[in-house]
Chain A
Amino acid sequence: MNVQRLGRAFFADPATAAGTIIVTVFLALALFGPLIAPYSPTAQNAELIRQPPSLSHPFGTDRLGRDLFSRIVYGARDILALAGGGTVLAVIVGAFIGISVTYLGGWLEETVFRLFDGLLALPALLLALILLGATGPSRANVLLVMVVVYTPIVARVVRSVVLTLKSRGFIEAARMRNERLGYILWRELLPLVAPTLAVEAALRFSYAIFLVASLGFLGVGVQPPSPDWGLMVLEARNEFALAPWSLYVPAAAIALLVIGVNLMAEGVRRAISDS
């Protein structure tokens, strides 16, 4: 596949470009947070509680007088690291299981995928709640939960591709030369699954952002006083009448990031299917 052509196809569409810009901005916030944020995300200021947006506090302050802009900037780091990390892990594990189990087939495939179907029968959020309830809230557990929730989905998508590849002539040719299993799985099949995997990863990422925020909002994700966006929505909920901006700001950040990632995912899908 031609990388240049892929790049050109990707940026040809204004929606994709917009999505890319949005995601890049949030990534920059996450990476250079301390340089950008004017205040510490946890510094309280009893003099300046529930200040509406102003020049010194562009997004206003919350009930403890913390600067909302700084909290959003630092919060970007958490949500992108957790959602991104969870997605990458789930894609790796899902691709591994999806390719190897589907290729091997038989009762192994039957068992694994029936089990996955069982997991998928539960809504992602409910499953995540049950697991976090059992393991206790922490960043590591949020990552783990995302792998459990998303691996079956990735594996199933991978399976649908591998099933069509499995009976192709080149796989039979590999059998006819006593080929190593590892070569068939990772040299022959993986590159052909990769485009599908890229599209799936981009899509999964946008769901993961939502999941991390939802877990924060439900109080089982990242714990206070961390500047988690979901947590900020939760804390601001009771303050709505007094300080509506403290709810709007984190909610808008979540929405904007999800939209940005979705536009980008659509661009990835289109660029890959075009080339």
Chain B
Amino acid sequence: MATSVLSVENLAVEYHTGRQRLPVLREITLSVAAGETVGIVGESGSGKSTLGLAILRALPANGRISAGRVLIDGLDLAQTQGAALRALWERSLRLVPQNPLAALNPTLRIGEQLVEAIGGKRPVAEAQAAALLARVHIADPVRVMRSYPHELSGGMQQRVLIAMALHGAPRLLVLDEPTTSLDVTTEAAVIDLLADLIAERQPASLFISHNLGLVARIATRTAVLYAGELVEIAPTGTLFQQPRHPYTQGLLRSLPHPGLRYDSHPLQPIEGTIPAPGALPDGCVFAPRCPLADDRCRRERPPLLTIAPDHATRCHYWSQLTFDLAPPAPAPATAAPDKAPLLTTHHLTKTIAQRRSLVDAVRGKTAPAVQALAGVDLTVQRNRTLGVVGESGSGKTTLARCLIGLTPPSGGEIQLLDIPLAPRIEQRPREQVRRLQMVLQNPQEALNPALTVSEALIRPLIRLGGLDGATAAKRVPDLLRLVNLPPDYANRRPHQLSGGEKQRVAIARALAATPDLLVLDEAVSALDVSVQAAVLNVLASIKERTGITYVFITHDLAVVSYLADDVVVMYRGEIVEEGPVASVLNPPLHPYTEALLAATNPHGIRLREAEAMIPAPATGCPFQPRCPRALGDICRTEKPPWREAGDGHRLRCHIPLEELRAVQMGR
């Protein structure tokens, strides 16, 4: 291997809280060569962000390197002080942070911030800044330099930060979840850009992420962090094909892989939760959750064993581990849809008026409005799972809130079993409220911190189930069991639960009054992969037992292809494609669906504009400005027609079906 730019030797980091010292990282040894990208993966609490900060010597005030050292080009960072350290930071070390808006100064124009980062004489720096912006594919660098951060979309802000990190000749680039706050399509473009730039500038790069798929696309080698320890490191291909640590294997088994369905190949989540930094087990850190752990594992902490030239693992029994994901079986034919739809909408619209200023009101200007739903005709079949996918701003959450009645629609109709529903939940009779329930996106806000789990579960039984308090209380253990939580959780309060457990309680609460339809709005998006797998399994088993109908709203197509029977693809408040999952996703026909799926493929097709928020055209196809397969004038002037692709699968596109199919066959 070439001489490494970064070498981390036996690094340990502690955080001080009160009188306690919490070990957050232990015995981390790692090296990164120029031009190489090492992925750091781990779930929340694994210490991956702390590792990035420790390497840059940017730990928070209560954090301290307690052992080991970090060398940059042979220079010990801990020994570098004052001006020399600042010069090193300025010249060689760069960070691209997770939240771009928080990293940019809201009161300074982008140009100012770039010029400050580049330094040197102003006209020269300005020219360099413009060139850097052009390099990160910003079409109009001059305009962007005059803009303030809030005037740019998230993807643009992240490009600006990448440009900022690239000036001069950076030696080390730390990318801390650089695309986590972006849409998949934007993420795809940013990852492509990063891969290009790393190849061109040859910095040593650390790519920190919780997203295994993303790491697989960009990293040459990948390190897996668990509870502050490096448990496995290997070339990325090897790590994903032949993982030699039970934790790595568990992570991979928790991921919904393309082609695998919940009924034929259920996910295998990792049991238990990550230990807190103050409460690490004596032996192997993973032993309490490891299905293979024995007495030796609980007693004796395994060293990082080098098992192949580039492959090391922290497991006593690595040689006995086997791993093969079931090969993608052809998707089983899903049961013929029950022809009686449970819920339908007819030309549902929602216009959200922006606040207008007093001046505009006096001038008589009308408030600008956003069309969040532009006439949605949705059909939800009974006993099936409908996936709703789309980028942010596609209207999928608005649709969910309108169905439930949390947000009244502006027009159109919603019918439950052919009975029209009132626009607001407060106007709906109790029986209708009971039939339609929803699980919200953020598990941290789902439960009232002042109330116990039991109280949260009792209320819907009383209010919607018509039970009295004592009878309702007897049902609580059953509800907890339904979502795989032990009955003694009834007395816990939300702060004693992890994110996944909170979401499971929220699901139990929504199911308490036995609804016919459960809407899940990005219900697993905020969860770590192993937790997400457990929640998805709970949902699948509930569906098998009760025959409940789900509307599953997500940006994650892998989850949809794992769990959903039907799928609806939304763009700009409209449905652009719908039908059975197997038919819509395999292969994708509509160019937008195709681009969403291709976002996880390094060689897939990309949108012409990565940003979801570009203004919608007044006429023609709403997707046309970003469409990679746009035909020309007809797309700009005429609304595309619905085309039937058989079996209930239909899409709106000017391109004839035969052509769309031919393109996919040719790939």
Closest chain A residue, CB of each to CB of B459? A177
| Candidates A175, A176, A177, A188; contact of B448 at CB < 8 Å | A188
| Candidates B406, B430, B510; contact of A175 at CB < 8 Å | B406
Query: Could you tell me the distance between the alpha carbons of A111 and B446 in the complex, rounded to whole angstroms?
Result: 31
Q: Which residues of A contact B440 (CB under 8 A)?
A: 169, 172-173
Query: Could you tell me the distance between the alpha carbons of A176 and B510 in the complex, rounded to whole angstroms?
Result: 9
B384 at interface, CB cutoff 8 A: no
Hey, what's the 0/1 contact readout for B284-297 against A, CB within 8 Å counting as 1?
00000000000000
Tell whether, in the assembled complex, residue A173 and residue B506 are in contact, meaning their CB atoms are under 8 Å apart: yes
Query: Could you tell me the distance between the alpha carbons of A183 and B441 in the complex, rounded to whole angstroms?
Result: 24
B40 at interface, CB cutoff 8 A: no
Hey, what's the 0/1 contact readout for B415-449 against A, CB within 8 Å counting as 1?
00000000001100010010001101110011111
B451 at interface, CB cutoff 8 A: yes
Tell whether, in the assembled complex, residue B437 and residue A188 are in contact, meaning their CB atoms are under 8 Å apart: no
Closest chain A residue, CB of each to CB of B443? A169
A178 at interface, CB cutoff 8 A: yes
Tell whether, in the assembled complex, residue B449 and residue A192 are in contact, meaning their CB atoms are under 8 Å apart: yes
Q: Which residues of A contact B451 (CB under 8 A)?
A: 187-188, 191
Distance (whole angstroms) from the CB of B361 to the closest CB of chain A = 16
Tell whether, in the assembled complex, residue A179 and residue B406 are in contact, meaning their CB atoms are under 8 Å apart: no
Distance (whole angstroms) from the CB of B494 to the closest CB of chain A = 9
Tell whether, in the assembled complex, residue A175 and residue B442 are in contact, meaning their CB atoms are under 8 Å apart: no
Closest chain B residue, CB of each to CB of A172? B406
Q: Which residues of B contact A177 (CB under 8 A)?
A: 433, 459-460, 463-464, 513
Tell whether, in the assembled complex, residue A183 and residue B459 are in contact, meaning their CB atoms are under 8 Å apart: yes
B509 at interface, CB cutoff 8 A: yes
A8 at interface, CB cutoff 8 A: no
Query: Could you tell me the distance between the alpha carbons of A180 and B404 in the complex, rounded to whole angstroms?
Result: 18
Query: Could you tell me the distance between the alpha carbons of A191 and B442 in the complex, rounded to whole angstroms?
Result: 21
Q: Which residues of B contact A172 (CB under 8 A)?
A: 406, 440
Q: Which residues of A contact B459 (CB under 8 A)?
A: 174, 177, 179, 183
Closest chain A residue, CB of each to CB of B426? A175
Closest chain B residue, CB of each to CB of A194? B450
Q: Which residues of B contact A175 (CB under 8 A)?
A: 406, 425-426
Q: A177-B463, A179-B463, A188-B451 are in contact. Are A168 and B437 (CB under 8 A)?
A: no
Query: Could you tell me the distance between the alpha carbons of A28 and B48 in the complex, rounded to whole angstroms?
Result: 57
Tell whether, in the assembled complex, residue B450 and residue A168 are in contact, meaning their CB atoms are under 8 Å apart: no
| Candidates A169, A174, A179, A180; contact of B442 at CB < 8 Å | A169
Q: Which residues of B contact A183 (CB under 8 A)?
A: 459
Tell whether, in the assembled complex, residue B433 and residue A173 are in contact, meaning their CB atoms are under 8 Å apart: no
Distance (whole angstroms) from the CB of B105 to the closest CB of chain A = 26
Tell whether, in the assembled complex, residue A173 and residue B406 are in contact, meaning their CB atoms are under 8 Å apart: no
Q: Which residues of B contact A173 (CB under 8 A)?
A: 440, 446, 456, 506, 509-510
Distance (whole angstroms) from the CB of A162 to the closest CB of chain B = 13
Query: How many B residues are at the interface, by size bracket?
Result: 20 to 34
Closest chain B residue, CB of each to CB of A191? B450
| Candidates B433, B448, B513; contact of A170 at CB < 8 Å | B448
Q: A179-B459, A183-B459 are in contact. Are A168 and B426 (CB under 8 A)?
A: no
Distance (whole angstroms) from the CB of B483 to the closest CB of chain A = 15
Q: A176-B425, A177-B464 are in contact. Are A192 and B448 (CB under 8 A)?
A: yes
Tell whether, in the assembled complex, residue A178 and residue B448 are in contact, meaning their CB atoms are under 8 Å apart: no
Q: A175-B426, A176-B406, A177-B463 are in contact. Are A169 and B450 (CB under 8 A)?
A: no
Tell whether, in the assembled complex, residue A170 and residue B446 are in contact, meaning their CB atoms are under 8 Å apart: yes
Query: Could you tell me the distance between the alpha carbons of A180 and B430 in the complex, rounded to whole angstroms?
Result: 12
Closest chain B residue, CB of each to CB of A170? B448
Query: Could you tell me the distance between the alpha carbons of A178 and B465 in the complex, rounded to whole angstroms?
Result: 11
Q: Which residues of B contact A178 (CB under 8 A)?
A: 425, 430, 433, 463-464
Q: Which of A197-218 contact B (CB under 8 A)?
A: none
Tell whether, in the assembled complex, residue B445 and residue A176 are in contact, meaning their CB atoms are under 8 Å apart: no
Q: A168-B445, A170-B445 are in contact. Are A176 and B438 (CB under 8 A)?
A: yes
Q: Which of A169, A174, A175 has the most CB of B within 10 A?
A: A169
Q: Which residues of B contact A187 (CB under 8 A)?
A: 451
Closest chain B residue, CB of each to CB of A165? B448
Distance (whole angstroms) from the CB of B205 to the closest CB of chain A = 37
Q: Which of B469-510 contact A (CB under 8 A)?
A: 506, 509-510
Q: Which of A151-170 contact B (CB under 8 A)?
A: 168-170
Closest chain A residue, CB of each to CB of B463? A177
Tell whether, in the assembled complex, residue A169 and residue B406 are in contact, meaning their CB atoms are under 8 Å apart: no
Distance (whole angstroms) from the CB of A196 to the closest CB of chain B = 13
Q: Which residues of B contact A192 (CB under 8 A)?
A: 448-450
Closest chain A residue, CB of each to CB of B448? A170
Hey, what's the 0/1 contact readout for B113-138 against A, CB within 8 Å counting as 1?
00000000000000000000000000
Closest chain B residue, CB of each to CB of A180? B463
Distance (whole angstroms) from the CB of B453 to the closest CB of chain A = 12
Q: Which residues of A contact B425 (CB under 8 A)?
A: 175-176, 178
Q: Which residues of A contact B463 (CB under 8 A)?
A: 177-180
| Candidates A174, A179, A188; contact of B450 at CB < 8 Å | A188
Distance (whole angstroms) from the CB of A218 to the closest CB of chain B = 41
Query: Could you tell me the distance between the alpha carbons of A98 and B509 in the complex, rounded to whole angstroms?
Result: 29
Distance (whole angstroms) from the CB of B63 to the closest CB of chain A = 21
Q: Which residues of A contact B460 (CB under 8 A)?
A: 177
21 contacts between A and B (CB under 8 A): A169-B442, A169-B447, A169-B506, A170-B445, A170-B446, A170-B448, A173-B456, A173-B510, A174-B459, A176-B404, A176-B425, A176-B433, A176-B437, A176-B438, A178-B425, A179-B459, A180-B463, A183-B459, A188-B451, A191-B451, A192-B448
18 extra interface residue pairs, beta carbon distance < 8 Å, beyond A177-B464, A191-B450: A169-B440, A169-B442, A170-B446, A170-B447, A173-B440, A173-B456, A173-B509, A173-B510, A175-B406, A175-B426, A176-B425, A176-B433, A176-B438, A177-B460, A179-B459, A179-B463, A191-B451, A192-B450
| 6 residue pairs, one from A and one from B, having the closest CB atoms | A191-B450, A169-B445, A170-B448, A169-B440, A177-B460, A169-B446
Residues in chain B within 8 A of chain A (CB atoms): 404, 406, 425-426, 430, 433, 437-438, 440-442, 445-451, 456, 459-460, 463-464, 506, 509-510, 513
